[in-house]
A = this chain, B = another copy of it.
């Protein structure tokens, strides 16, 4: 069954306190070499039938109106089999 995945990430110019918290924790846990961490959301949507272009257009609308805040977040829609 194909799933449609929507990735929602804070825009590059937006401060990301969750990502910064992870970045700060890594050296304390002994991990080095990471220069930046951004944390966002991932949605997996399952559909009744086939994932057509019309379905993907609907998912774009869902991403824009419900899954993301377009003022501070970018989103990407893709099919994952």
Which A residues are within 8 Å of any B CB, using their own CB? 7-9, 19, 22, 25-26, 29, 31, 33-49, 55, 58, 61-62, 65-67
Contacts and interface: CB of A to CB of B under 8 A. Distances in A.
List the number of copies, as a whole number. Answer: 2
A54 to B, nearest CB: 10
Contact of A31 (B22, B33, B46, B62): B62
A45 B36 contact: yes
Contacts of A44: 9, 36-40
Contacts of A41: 39-42
A46 B48 CA distance: 37
Contacts of A48: 33, 35
Contacts of A62: 26, 29, 31, 34
A45 B35 CA distance: 8
